[in-house]
Structure 1
């Protein structure tokens, strides 16, 4: 297998293919990632999302409908814990565009977000300034777009964006990183022509118990679950369920969407869906 490694959207990418990707294919991948970043990154002053945060108004983006339709279902399933206007809540805790990591008072996201944010298949409109954050599923969406751009590449293709990955044309085994010890795994997943996405409170963590997985209703980091993994036919769905699993209603949403999953609590207990293709090694934290 040939592996192309590069940095983009603040994470390390690895694309594995049977033969080396052509310069044209690599350019296409980079164009897709740059377009998505220019539209949706709240860490870029020149992005469309940053403009909306300052001014409100409209954004034209091919991914708006797919992502916001999924957000609506996520919000309903989790009783409002997942919310695309959580960007200002993250900034209030220090996870802002400047990565200040200096927390102020927690800020709940607007519960009325479906009234403030309207969308079509390829656009969204905000009724006033607010920070859209698509972190609950955006990286999965981008993995799907990159994999789709490589449709003409024969053989097994693996697109891995910092652990959120999709596989086409074969099978792969993936270790599930222990959230308290990156040198260990709690188990191994075997997937074929599927996607696996993960989320954990040890990633993008700072301060005293602060991390990026927030309950939008309170603006505070979650405390019950330490890590989640979801397996689905596409990466956006897997990414969305990996987020939902931090909250009540997540397993029920996974069942409705036909997604298999594992999650680990902050006290070291592991849960899994009945048909999940994962071998679990341990359910206890180290030490």
Structure 2
């Protein structure tokens, strides 16, 4: 058989870009004197937790690799019976046997939808990677240019009260991401299984954009990609508040609170107000259902 197993040390499907064909070991033919042939060995393939295995031709979901139990994706062949199996007292050397059956062979498509409790969303260069780096052991590339993060980063946030949760730094989204702009589809699908979203906004507008417009645009892209995301619990996080005036912070706070969102002003780089934000995040998670799994 060919089995797939979730591996928490993997976060991308990059390894599968270069190897396209996977085959389990063949068994051996039987021998004389009623000797059975050796059975072939299973092939175990490790993938990131949250990988969806689909039939490449039909798109049918075969398995959601999200649990700790291996999933059988392709069944191996069945061994045959040699002529001695059919021997009788009157027919001691039959001239026939039953051949074995070939194992399954087909093309699959792998689609990764990371499993995380919390997803960080927002425009590029607003401080998502900085935030995950100061609250977890994740070590994302951090630089002062857009799209520094090109693959999601996962980190485990552990709090002093013993609570912990998995956070995903989703690469920066832009307008029309739901239509594929800026690799939008590649990034947005990772948001689908996050239980709670932290929407990070540069509240100072240091990139030359309006924070309120940024907030509206990203939320609209989430809704267009999957209407369910419009209902996903979200906290609005105003980062870089050291660069913003009190008036800018107050204006943005009123804007998001009028829409029903909680607001936290932070300075991720120096951890200002990050602790209360993480405590509130853990509190909300304790009341939310578990991460969604897909059934074939």
- TM-score by shorter chain over 0.5: no
Larger gyration radius, structure 1 or structure 2 = 2
TM-score, normalising length: structure 2: 0.29
Normalized per residue, the structure richer in strand is 1
* Greater relative contact order structure (CA < 8 Å, 6+ sep): 1
TM-score, normalising length: structure 1: 0.30
